[in-house]
Chain A
Amino acid sequence: QKEVEQNSGPLSVPEGAIASLNCTYSDRGSQSFFWYRQYSGKSPELIMSIYSNGDKEDGRFTAQLNKASQYVSLLIRDSQPSDSATYLCAVNIPSGGSYIPTFGRGTSLIVHP
């Protein structure tokens, strides 16, 4: 079982719609969760971190965490063509007193005009 799972997509949404990106993780002891955006040929860019159950909003982005269900999601409101990218979910998985930052393979988002 992969430790961090994402649907690879592509997820296609029209401009102005809400894009919903999902991620599940296997280790219940995980405490830190992150969403990154990666444009083709570029390095990942941090969008948001979330540490507690519930929602965290930053502009058009909302991260949602449900530790009981081992589920973290990212909502993008009013999606724009410039949001077209691969979205990476990352979880810090506990390991021997430290942690292993573990990424999913990413979900490709396409926002069409």
Chain B
Amino acid sequence: ETGVTQSPTHLIKTRGQQVTLRCSSQSGHNTVSWYQQALGQGPQFIFQYYREEENGRGNFPPRFSGLQFPNYSSELNVNALELDDSALYLCASSHLDRESLDEQFFGPGTRLTVL
């Protein structure tokens, strides 16, 4: 069983730029959630994709957008980067169709630094 993978591992951007982060879900999973984790804080929910559609969104502005592909992999896009966007971005996959299997499994994360 293949786990959740994310790319890239680290990324440095400058303010105002755009970034795309990628996530491959664990095999057998159909749902991907994205989180932002600042230092010393718990992960903050950005949004979730279920069967290629957005299935919930946290308190993040529209410049945070995403996609899910037919193979259930996903992208997180952030436009007009701000310094406060510097954080660890986590992707988690799960399978919502199965009872009690809304357990999420996290990828290793992408460390984004905005200068």
Chain A residues with CB under 8 Å of chain B are 4, 32, 34, 36, 42-46, 49, 51, 88, 90, 92, 95, 98-106
Contacts and interface: CB of A to CB of B under 8 A. Distances in A.
Contact of A49 (B48, B103, B108): B103
A84 to B, nearest CB: 16
B109 A43 contact: yes
A43 B106 CA distance: 6
A46 B103 contact: yes
25 contacts: A32-B102, A36-B106, A43-B106, A44-B43, A44-B106, A46-B103, A46-B105, A51-B100, A88-B42, A88-B43, A92-B102, A98-B48, A99-B56, A100-B45, A100-B56, A100-B58, A101-B33, A101-B48, A102-B45, A103-B44, A103-B45, A105-B40, A105-B41, A105-B42, A106-B42
Contacts of B44: 103
| Listed residue (B43, B48, B56) with the most chain A CB atoms within 10 angstroms of its CB | B43
Contacts of B100: 49, 51
A98 B42 contact: no
Interface of B: 33, 35, 40-45, 48, 55-56, 58, 88, 90, 100, 102-109
Contacts, number: 52
A104 B42 contact: yes
B11 to A, nearest CB: 16
A interface majority secondary structure: strand
A90 B105 CA distance: 13
Given A88-B42, A92-B102, A101-B104, 9 more contacts: A34-B104, A43-B90, A44-B43, A44-B106, A46-B105, A90-B42, A100-B45, A105-B41, A106-B42
Nearest to B103: A49
A43 B90 CA distance: 7
A104 B58 CA distance: 15
